[in-house]
Chain A
């Protein structure tokens, strides 16, 4: 787990629940700081996933942001009131 060393200054929502955040930080960091461990499930097996690289490379942190699907949470910066949801696509198998 991770803890913050600096104060939060706004709030965003994850699955409709308010969580504290800092404007301008990566969305993925805000979710991790709030203890969110599952960002999406995979289409191949339905396995849960969370951020792995934090630099836009691995695409494991895909979430829905303000209604837009498949956004990289690590490359999306927090704006106050941002609404995020997990990506839970239908499993189609390999």
Chain B
């Protein structure tokens, strides 16, 4: 049995593996991708130049340390179940495997919060994060009639990166609330404990606004029959072949929500569920820990620190040292993490998630093509929450198992019932959380 199994080779998972190996634990690290980095450090290079380079350098450093750490890294590994023990089940190249570990650190990161607008299921509409992945993984840059709409730091970072690489952006629709500055301003002093975030953000915005026309507003539709042909902003039509949407990111809780007894809580500022964690990342389930953005959005630097802190916590749990030494090791890291999290309140206020569109014909569940109107109707029929909503409408029952629609249908149900989102249960997930073949499953039969 290994000491520590880590899921996810993003900043949190990599840092946890490096720290735990350094402390002497036997470590296995799983990631679904072919290489470490996660979304944020995908293909990060030490010699990167231009927007996002500081982050890339940090990622490249983590990757180098990981390679030298001695941790057993398994790439192309899709985790699909965690059971008491803890025991994890994952598949590599179409073969299912089972691994028992004394401790598990889950670091599956974040996903983009979907920004549903009328017509957003048309080919040609995708996430800003998706376009950034195209840039990082294949060197693709936008050309032609590419529009970006939404809000948040990643939107400006991507636009700046795309332009620096020779891409062309036709226009940007900034959907952020112009009044949010007034609400956020009192959090500014706290945010300036770590001025890097604001300085970088402002530099990206400056670079982009010099080269790309920026509109402000919220009324946007995607138009087309078999693919995106145009967008309409406040009734004005613009030719468009690509529309990139962004409204920040949410914790990926697809796995933690499927674990029996693992408690979650509603985070009102980020309008998303997150697992209930102590300062080391322990969940309510013995042996299962969470680090990084999947425990609440904090960004890459905070994620790496929480990975190291979780590794120290796990090492103490396994008897390598006592709580005094644990706290001595983790204390300085927690202070640093506090600094990295300091700008969060400001950013969360400035970029409070956009409301779910009221238009009845807007699709919220992409897989089963369930509209806002159908969900409102289910609420009228007595549906109380997103779990029952499956039986009423099939929303959340498609191939993505609610990954994309969960925040949207949760918000829509809360509105339709005039109930606080915090009072409604999160959508339950069940293992296997990712598809695997019946043959793979059967091979595990005794």
9 other A-B residue contacts (CB within 8 Å) besides A50-B124, A54-B130: A1-B143, A3-B167, A5-B139, A5-B165, A47-B121, A57-B111, A59-B367, A59-B398, A70-B435
Q: Given A38-B226, A53-B127, are A25 and B143 neighbors across the interface (CB < 8 Å)?
A: no
- Smallest CB-CB A-B distances: 10 pairs: A50-B123, A29-B138, A54-B130, A59-B399, A6-B139, A54-B133, A2-B140, A1-B144, A25-B138, A5-B139
A2 near B143 (CB under 8 angstroms)?
A: yes
When distances are taken between beta carbons in the complex, the residues of chain B under 8 Å from A57 are 111, 252, 400, 403-404
B415 at the interface (CB under 8 A from A): no
B140 near A24 (CB under 8 angstroms)?
A: no
When distances are taken between beta carbons in the complex, the residues of chain B under 8 Å from A47 are 121, 369
A56 near B32 (CB under 8 angstroms)?
A: yes
- In the complex, which of the residues A4, A56, A58 contacts B139, with contact meaning CB atoms closer than 8 Å? A4
B138 near A30 (CB under 8 angstroms)?
A: yes
Chain A residues proximal to chain B, CB less than 8 Å: 1-6, 22, 24-26, 29-30, 32-33, 37-39, 42, 44-45, 47-60, 62, 70, 74-75, 77, 94
Q: Given A33-B138, A58-B404, A59-B400, are A94 and B126 neighbors across the interface (CB < 8 Å)?
A: no
Bound-complex Cα distance A34 to B366 (A) = 25
B153-189 near A? 1/0 per residue, CB < 8 Å: 0000000000001110000000000000000000000
Would you call the interface of chain A mostly helix, strand, loop, or mixed? loop
A54 near B126 (CB under 8 angstroms)?
A: yes
Bound-complex Cα distance A49 to B399 (A) = 14
B399 near A44 (CB under 8 angstroms)?
A: no
Chain B residues proximal to chain A, CB less than 8 Å: 32-34, 39, 111-112, 121-127, 129-131, 133-134, 137-146, 165-167, 226-227, 241-242, 252, 366-370, 394, 398-400, 403-404, 434-435
B111 near A52 (CB under 8 angstroms)?
A: no
Bound-complex Cα distance A48 to B121 (A) = 8
* A-B pairs with beta carbons under 8 Å apart, 20 shown: A1-B144, A2-B140, A2-B141, A3-B140, A5-B139, A5-B141, A26-B133, A37-B123, A37-B226, A37-B227, A38-B227, A45-B369, A48-B227, A52-B130, A53-B126, A53-B130, A54-B134, A55-B39, A57-B252, A59-B400
Chain B: which residue is nearest A52 at the CB level? B126
Q: Given A37-B124, A38-B123, are A4 and B368 neighbors across the interface (CB < 8 Å)?
A: no
B129, B130, B398: most-surrounded residue (chain A CB, <10 A): B130
When distances are taken between beta carbons in the complex, the residues of chain B under 8 Å from A59 are 367, 398-400, 403
A26 near B138 (CB under 8 angstroms)?
A: yes
Bound-complex Cα distance A91 to B227 (A) = 19
When distances are taken between beta carbons in the complex, the residues of chain B under 8 Å from A44 are 368-369
When distances are taken between beta carbons in the complex, the residues of chain B under 8 Å from A32 are 134, 140
When distances are taken between beta carbons in the complex, the residues of chain B under 8 Å from A39 are 123
Bound-complex Cα distance A7 to B435 (A) = 34
When distances are taken between beta carbons in the complex, the residues of chain A under 8 Å from B241 are 1
Bound-complex Cα distance A24 to B143 (A) = 23
Bound-complex Cα distance A11 to B138 (A) = 15
A25 near B127 (CB under 8 angstroms)?
A: no
**From residue B204, how far is it (CB to closest CB) to chain A in Å?**
19
Q: Given A29-B134, A58-B366, are A48 and B226 neighbors across the interface (CB < 8 Å)?
A: yes
- In the complex, which of the residues A48, A53, A77 contacts B111, with contact meaning CB atoms closer than 8 Å? A53
A33 near B140 (CB under 8 angstroms)?
A: yes
B32 near A75 (CB under 8 angstroms)?
A: yes
**From residue A35, how far is it (CB to closest CB) to chain B in Å?**
10
B143 near A58 (CB under 8 angstroms)?
A: no
Bound-complex Cα distance A90 to B227 (A) = 20
Bound-complex Cα distance A83 to B242 (A) = 26
B124, B134, B143: most-surrounded residue (chain A CB, <10 A): B134
**From residue A40, how far is it (CB to closest CB) to chain B in Å?**
10
Chain B: which residue is nearest A30 at the CB level? B138
When distances are taken between beta carbons in the complex, the residues of chain A under 8 Å from B133 are 26, 29, 54-55, 74
